[in-house]
Amino acid sequence: AQKITQTQPGMFVQEKEAVTLDCTYDTSDPSYGLFWYKQPSSGEMIFLIYQGSYDQQNATEGRYSLNFQKARKSANLVISASQLGDSAMYFCAMRGRRLGGSEKLVFGKGTKLTVNP
Amino acid sequence: EAGVAQSPRYKIIEKRQSVAFWCNPISGHATLYWYQQILGQGPKLLIQFQNNGVVDDSQLPKDRFSAERLKGVDSTLKIQPAKLEDSAVYLCASSLVFRPLNRGAGTGELFFGEGSRLTVL
């Protein structure tokens, strides 16, 4: 079974500093993808970044980068130069690919990030 | 390109009443999902459709929840009768088929609607 663990219920960071949000996962699927979504207080789910299990390089999207350590089964999100608008819930999620199985996206419990001015 | 459409945005009902939510996915997306998100928690998958067939409904409380996607496009999620613990945001999402070994096919990310917030009194 797929499982995502986010151990930080809440994180605080000063504006313009970098922050790392932790995510570990467990799966028996031979290939899978890891996703990070942002959910502001307004409720919409915003896709941030994707890392495929066979990707050799860590994914980057603007100020977001994913620190992927396959052997440790971790996929931490790094946000550089934090902005006040980054304050939101952040969810790590995983989607697997196996024969005969569903490709559902499984979410962690989330981390609430607060950026202080 | 139009996003995932959901309605209604908000619904307040008494317990034991029924409610239905509607979702229209992004055009061309074969896979459609309904998630339940209780306040302060991550989304939990209720049901996943591939075209008009059910792929996964293992966490759907089938005694009170039902969902259909008759023509492989839009979908309806129904709760009857509702319980207090059903108060949540119901998120609909759609995606292309996931091909993690083929980056040219896209990342397979899910596109979410704005959600339908249900309050059961």
- A31 at interface of B, judged by CB pairs closer than 8 A: yes
Confidence of residue B33 (pLDDT cuts 50, 70, 90): very high
- A90 at interface of B, judged by CB pairs closer than 8 A: no
**Chain A CA closest to residue B49:** A102
Q: How many residues does chain A have?
A: 117
pLDDT of residue A100 exceeding 70, the answer is: no
pLDDT of residue B103 exceeding 90, the answer is: no
pLDDT of residue B105 exceeding 70, the answer is: no
* DSSP reduced 3-state for A86: helix
Chain B CB contacts of A56 below 8 Å: none
- B112 at interface of A, judged by CB pairs closer than 8 A: yes
At A101 the pLDDT is 56
Q: What are phi and psi of A113, to 5 degrees?
A: -100, 130
Are A107 and A90 in contact by the 8 Å Cβ rule? The answer is no
- A45 at interface of B, judged by CB pairs closer than 8 A: yes
| A17: CB partners within 8 A, 6+ apart | A81, A82
| A41: CB partners within 8 A, 6+ apart | A88
Are B87 and B20 in contact by the 8 Å Cβ rule? The answer is no
Beta bridge partners of A69: A74
